[in-house]
């Protein structure tokens, strides 16, 4: 079986969904070039669709954007040596992660406020991931009740931001467990709220603060205003951050939303206690040092996500790909995933060659969902699956782990 087996979406659809059939036909007749050929193609289209404030929220990064650039540059330093004539028709990207089989080792990152920006975006992502057989993480900062999302994707992972209060943690774990989640990801890299200057300049804030400037920004993007926000308000009412507290969370206009994400006193003792009471798989997201990876493993975490949060928090932080080799060396048996800057199949293979078991992709998958809902994300997943399948063939890899066998080369 290849990476493009029946669990993955069709790869050839050039124009993403949400475009009516008649418009597709006209475009096809005019011979219009496909718009989305790779994951880089989504940001420009999203920039046109979205109010400035929302595009800045998604696309933004910390400080001067050095960590963001370094996340990509880290991949540029590596290439792979092909082995030819290996009979590659049996190649497969299928992967086993923490007791579960996936169609490929590429998952969907966690996104806060997704369904404020894309209509029913949490459910669209959950469904697209399930149909494609890839991992999906629902953020605690999400709008759709976790109980609804898990019905769409019984394999969804819950990415929690937890407070430092043990009884609140217990109640939160009870809710997550009762909903049916079996994989709990704890995001551990946001002890205080981040500040992204592009967002501030574009008047993005959470809680949303209505202003003439924001209203103008939204009114000047009517396709988004009517097709996304209008639809959400009509169908779902005022969005609430549904999954950050044991009960229904605050509305996106409530002052208490500002406190989300920052738990400065949350520490390893809380993780130890959680490990004792959470029976499912436990993954820590935001680990960048070998020492922390070892601690996570000693505590009994099933996996870690080596991540700098897409360079959204701190501009002087190491890139995950640079941190990965030391982490893998220190923890040979731990499930190690990586995110931040992964955009191409070559990045996926490089990360695996350097010791990752799989990767997650953030912003491009979020943009694809906003632009095209579930079919839009399915198309994006299909693009990376197709790249992966072709790259495996060209490199002579029957299995992605073969990339660890003396295939990496550091560019001169």
Active site residues: 309
Rule CB under 6 A: say whether 141 interacts with ligand FMN.
Answer: yes
Residue 303, strand partner residues: 283, 335
Give 185's strand partners. Answer: 159, 283
Cα–Cα distance, 122 to 152 (Å, whole number): 10
Contact between 73 and 380 (Cβ < 8 Å): no
Q: Can you tell me whether residue 285 is helix, strand or coil?
A: strand
> Are the CB atoms for 298 and 48 separated by under 8 Å?
no
Tell me whether residue 4 or residue 187 sits nearer to ligand FMN (CB atom). 187
172-231 residues near ligand FMN, rule: CB under 6 A: 187
Interface with ligand FMN (CB under 6 A), residue from 9, 135, 239, 310: 310
User: Which span sits near ligand FMN by CB under 6 A: 236-244, 270-278, 336-344, 367-375?
Assistant: 336-344
Q: What DSSP string runs through 322-340?
A: HHHHHHHHH-TTSEEEE-S
**224 φ, ψ to 5°?**
-75, -40
Q: Which span (6-14, 16-24, 237-245, 338-346) binds ligand FMN, by CB under 6 A?
A: 338-346
Q: Pick the binder of ligand FMN from 36, 55, 78, 111 (CB under 6 A).
A: 111
Q: Does position 51 bind ligand FMN by CB under 6 A?
A: no
Among 339, 387, 391, 402, binds ligand FMN (CB under 6 A): 339
Q: Which C-beta is closer to ligand FMN: that of 10 or that of 193?
A: 193
The span of 46-54, 104-112, 228-236, 373-381 binding ligand FMN (CB under 6 A) equals: 104-112
Residue burial 223-249, b: 16+ Cβ < 10 Å; e: rest = ebbeebbeebeeeeeebbbbbbbbeeb
Part of the chain binding ligand FMN (CB under 6 A), chosen from 18-26, 199-207, 340-348, 387-395: 340-348
Of all residues in the shown chain, the one whose CB is closest to ligand FMN is 362
Q: Does 112 bind ligand FMN (CB under 6 A)?
A: yes
Q: Read out DSSP for 69-107?
A: HHHHHHHHTEEE----SS-GGG-B--EEETTEEESSSEE
Q: Does 144 bind ligand FMN (CB under 6 A)?
A: no
Q: Identify the CA nearest to 307 among candidates 343, 342, 349.
A: 342
Residue 58 in the binding site for ligand FMN (CB under 6 A): yes
Least Å from the CB of residue 362 to ligand FMN? 2
Q: Say how many residues make up the chain.
A: 412
Interacting span for ligand FMN (CB under 6 A) from 35-43, 84-92, 106-114, 374-382: 106-114
CB of 411 to ligand FMN, least distance (A): 21
- Which C-beta is closer to ligand FMN: that of 187 or that of 232? 187
341 forms part of the interface with ligand FMN (CB under 6 A)? yes
Residue 333 beta carbon to ligand FMN: minimum distance, rounded to whole angstroms: 24
Cα 3 from Cα 391, distance rounded (Å): 11
Candidates 144, 242, 340, 374; binder of ligand FMN (CB under 6 A) is 340
Is 129 among the residues that bind ligand FMN (CB under 6 A)? Answer: no
DSSP state of 313: S
Q: Residue 242, interface with ligand FMN (CB under 6 A)?
A: no
Q: Which lies closer to ligand FMN via its Cβ, residue 159 or residue 271?
A: 159
d(CA 299, CA 162): 17
Which residues have C-beta within 8 Å of that of residue 281, sequence separation ≥ 6?
Answer: 98, 99, 182, 183, 184, 302, 303
Q: Does 110 bind ligand FMN (CB under 6 A)?
A: yes
Nearer Cβ to ligand FMN, position 310 or 358? 310
3-state secondary structure 4-53: CCCCCCCCCCCCCCCCCHHHHHHHHHCCCCCCCCCHHHHHHHHHHHCCHH
State which of positions 346-375 bind ligand FMN (CB under 6 A).
361-363, 366
Residue ranges in contact with ligand FMN by CB under 6 A: 57-58, 109-112, 139, 141, 159, 187, 285, 307, 309-310, 312, 339-342, 361-363, 366
């Amino acid at each position: 079986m290849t990476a493009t087996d029946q669990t993955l979406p069709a790869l050839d659809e050039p124009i993403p969904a949400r475009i009516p059939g008649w418009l597709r036909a006209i475009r096809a007749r005019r011979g219009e070039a496909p718009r989305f050929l790779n994951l880089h193609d989504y940001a420009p289209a999203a920039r046109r669709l979205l109010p400035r404030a929302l595009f800045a929220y998604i696309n933004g990064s910390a400080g001067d954007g050095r960590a963001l650039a370094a996340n990509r540059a880290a991949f540029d330093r590596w290439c792979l040596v092909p082995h030819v004539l290996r009979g590659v028709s049996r190649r497969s990207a299928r992967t086993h992660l923490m007791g579960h089989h996936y169609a490929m080792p590429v998952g969907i990152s966690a996104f806060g406020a997704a369904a404020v920006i894309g209509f029913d975006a949490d459910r669209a992502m959950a469904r697209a991931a399930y149909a494609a057989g890839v991992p999906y993480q629902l953020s605690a900062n999400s709008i759709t009740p976790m109980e609804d999302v898990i019905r769409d994707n019984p394999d969804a992972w819950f990415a929690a931001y937890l407070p430092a209060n043990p009884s609140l943690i217990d109640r939160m774990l009870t809710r997550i467990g009762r909903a049916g989640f079996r994989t709990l990801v704890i995001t551990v890299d946001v002890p205080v709220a981040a500040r992204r200057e592009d967002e501030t300049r574009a008047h993005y804030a959470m809680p949303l603060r209505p202003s003439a400037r924001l209203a103008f920004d939204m009114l000047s993007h009517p396709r988004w205003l009517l097709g996304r926000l209008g639809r959400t308000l009509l169908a779902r009412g005022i969005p609430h951050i549904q999954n950050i507290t044991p009960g229904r969370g605050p509305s996106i206009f409530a002052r208490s939303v500002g406190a989300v994400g920052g738990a400065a006193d949350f520490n390893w003792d809380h993780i130890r206690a959680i490990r004792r009471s959470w029976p499912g798989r436990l993954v820590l997201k935001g680990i960048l040092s070998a020492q922390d990876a070892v601690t996570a493993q000693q505590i009994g975490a099933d996996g870690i996500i080596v991540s700098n949060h897409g360079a959204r928090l701190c501009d002087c932080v190491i890139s995950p790909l640079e941190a990965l080799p030391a982490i893998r060396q220190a923890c040979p048996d731990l499930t190690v995933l990586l995110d931040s800057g992964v955009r191409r199949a070559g990045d996926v293979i490089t990360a695996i060659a350097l010791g990752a078991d799989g990767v997650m992709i953030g912003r491009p998958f979020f943009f694809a969902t906003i632009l095209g809902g579930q079919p839009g994300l399915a198309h994006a997943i299909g693009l990376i699956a197709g790249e992966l399948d072709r790259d495996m063939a060209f490199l002579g890899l029957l299995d992605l782990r073969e990339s660890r066998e003396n295939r990496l080369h550091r560019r001169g």
